Structure 1
Amino acid sequence: MAAEALWSNKLRTGLTMLGVIIGISSVIAITSVGQGVQKGVEQQIQALGTDVLQVLAGAARSGFISQGLGSTSTLTWEDAEAIAQQAPSAQVVSAYLQRNAQVVYGGQNTSTTIYGTDLNYPEVRNVYPQAGRFFTQEELDTATQVAVLGPTVQKTLFGEGANAVGEKIRVRGEAYEVIGVMEPKGSQGPMDRDDQIYIPLTSMSRRLVGNNALAGISVSGILIKASNQEQLEAAQFQVTNILRLRHNIYPPAVDDFRLTNQADIVNTFTNVVSLFTVMVVAIAGISLLVGGIGIANIMLVSVVERTREIGIRKAVGATYAAILNQFLAEAIAISTVGGGIGMGAGILIAAAAAAIFKFPFVVSPLSVIAGFGLSFIVGLLAGVIPARNAAKLDPIAALRSD
C-alpha cells in the first residue's frame, strides 16, 4: 500500500527524494574525494621517501625581507660528507645545488630547475633513469658536462617518444651531453617533479653558479635517508648537533639551517585534509537535514490530503499500528530509495573527479554504510510525527472531512 501510494504521486515522491539524494551523494562524493586526494599526496610524498630528512641552507635577507631558505651559502658539500661519516642513523646522504635556468636544444627552449647532485641522489630520492644512465664518480670528480633529463624536459625539448640520449643541450650557454632520462614521478602540488635536469654537483658549482663558500663547495640542501622511519628523530638530533659544531653555533645563537621531515609533512597534510573533509561533510549533512524536513512536510501534507482514506480504513477495522506502519513505511521508502540513488550518484561523481584530476579513486565502505544508515534514520524520524497524526485521527471526523 505504501508503494502504491508513492507511485500514484510520482512527481511529488521524486521531488521529496531529491533532498535526500543530494545530501547522501554529497557526503559520499566529498568523503571519497578527500580520501583520494589524501592518498594521492601520501603516495607522492612516500615516493620521495618518508624516511628522508632534508637540511636546507639559511635565508639571505635584504633589509627586513627574507629571500627564502637556500638563498645563502650556509651549507657545504663537506657538511654532507661529515654527516655521512659521523651520523650513525644516516644510511645515505646526498648534497644538491639547485638553480632555475633556460635550457636550449635546436629551436626549442624551456625554463626548468637544474639540480647539481652527487651519486647518492637517485637512491635518496628513489628516482632512477628509465633510459640511459646516471653520471659516474669519474664524471663527478672531473666536472664532466653531462646531464640527465626529467621526462617533462625531454618531451618539451625533443618531443614525445624521441630519444634524447647522446644529444647536446645548452644550459646558460654551456653545452651538456644528455646521458639519460629519469623515470616519471608526477607532480607534487604545483611542482612538476619531472620538469628537472640533473648534472654533476662539481660541474654545477664551477660552471653555472660560481658561488663557493669559503669552507668548500656550497650547496642548497642536504638529503639524509635514515635506515627506517623510526630512526628519523635520532638522525635529526645527530645532524643538528653535527652542523652546529661545524658552523660554530652555540646557544642562544640561531641555526643557519633548517631541517624538514618528510613524515611530518605527510602527517600535517593528512590532518589538514581530514579537518577539511569533516567540515565539508558537515555542510553536506545540512542538506541531508533539509531533505529530512522536506520528507516530514510532504508526509504531513499527505496526511491532510488522505484524511478521508484514513477514516475509511479505520472504519473497516484498521488499527492504530496499521495506520502508523503504513505512513512510516512511506517515509522510510522515500528516504532509503533516495539514499540508494544518492550513494550511486556520489560514487559516480567521485569516480569522475578521480579520473579528471588524476588522483586515486577511494570509496570507504564505512561512508557507504553510514550514508545508507543516515537515509534510513532520516526517513524514520521524518515519518514519526505525520504517521502518529494519521494513526490518531478519529474515524468519524475523518469521514466527515472534505
Structure 2
Amino acid sequence: MVLFQTIFSGSQDALATIQKNPIFFEQAGPRQNIYFNPADVTAGIVTCGGLCPGINDVIRALVMELHYRYKVPRILGFPFGYEGLVKKSGHRPIELTPDKVAHIMNFGGSILGSSRGNQAINDMVDTLCLYGVKMLFCIGGDGTLRGAQAIHEEVKRRKEDIAIVGIPKTIDNDINYVQKTFGFSTAFSKAVEAVNCAHEEAKGAPNGIGLVKLMGRHSGFIAVNAALASKNVNFVLIPESDFDLEGKGAFLEVLKDRIKKRGHSVIIVAEGAGQKYFEDKGEKDQSGNKRLADIGIFMKDRISEYFKKENLNINLKYIDPSYIIRSVPANAEDSVFCGFLAQNAVHAAFAGRTSCVVGIWNNVFTVMPIQLAIAERKVLKPERSTLWRALLASTGQPNRMIAES
C-alpha cells in the first residue's frame, strides 16, 4: 500500500494520523495470482485526445509486456481513438506485434492515431465483444478516462469479463491524484527552447518583449516549470492566478516598470489564463471541453495598444509553439516513465483490476479507481504552492497583479 499523506507536522501527528484511519493507494505491480488465463486473452489498445510526447513509448511497452511476459497471443490497436471502436466508422483494428512496435518510440504522435468526440458506448462494447477483447488499455486524458468509465459500466451491465484500465495522458499534468503524467517532462523541456528564443529576441532589440503562449487549459504546470527551467522569464500568467491588465499594480503597469528599468522582458501566458476578458459563448469542442478564446493573440494586441498609448516604443515578438511541443518524441526520462506505467497497467489488468488508472504518487506507482481520477481536476494552488513560491523568486514578479481600487 502507498500512504497518501507523507508530510506531517511532527512525529506525534504522524503516529496519530496512521493510527486513526490513514488513506492508502494500492501499489501497482505484478501479483502472485492472476485472474485471466493469458492464452485466452485478446488485448486492445486505444489512444484518444490530443497528441502528447510518449504515446508510442506506452504502446510499445504495453505490447512488449503483454507478449513477452504474459505470452498474450493477440494484441489489437484500435485506430483513431474511440472512433476506432465503432464498427460503422470503417476503421479496422491493427494487430500489434513486437516487430511492428520495436522502433516507434523514435517518433512523436501515436501510430494508432487519435480523435476527439463522443461515441456510442453500446457500439464500442459491441466491438470489444466481437473481437473477444478481454482487456482494454485506454491512453488519454480526463475525457478519455470518462469514456473508459462509461465502457466499464456497460461491460458490467452486460456481465462481460473485460478489464478496462486507463493510462493517464495529459500534457497539462492535471489528472487528480496523479503526481505527474507522461509527456509532461518532455513538454516543458521543449517549451524552454521557445522561451529562450523569446529571450534572445527580447534582449536583442530596444524595449524588447518576448511573449510565449504555452499549454494549460486549467492548470499552469507547464508554464511554471518552463519558467523555472529557463530562468529567463519575468512574468508567468496562469489560470489559477487572477490578474488585471490596467490600473495601479496591474500587469501592464508592472510590465512598463520592468521595461523602463531593464529594457526588455519575457512573458509566458498559459492558454487558459485571463479568460475573464472574453465573453463566454458556451461553445464546446468535440470532447465537450469549453472552447477557450486565444489569450496569446489578445495579450499581444493589448500590450501593443497599451505601450502605444503610453508613447513608449516596444519591439514585441509573439511565439506559440504548442503543436511543436506536443508532437515531439519523448525525452529519455519520459520514455523510461512510459515503460513503467504501461507495465503496471498490464499487471493491473491481469490481476483482474478494472475501472482503474495507473499513476504515480510519492514516487511509487499506484492503481486507483477511474472515478477518483476524474472527480476533479488537479490545479496549481498559488496560496500554498512551493512551486509558485519558487516561481515568484525566479521571476521577481509580484504575487498578485490586481489593480488597486
TM-score by length of 1: 0.20
- Higher strand content, 1 or 2: 1
In terms of Rg, which structure is larger? 1
Q: Which has the higher contact order (CA 8 A, sep 6+)?
A: 1
TM-score by length of 2: 0.20
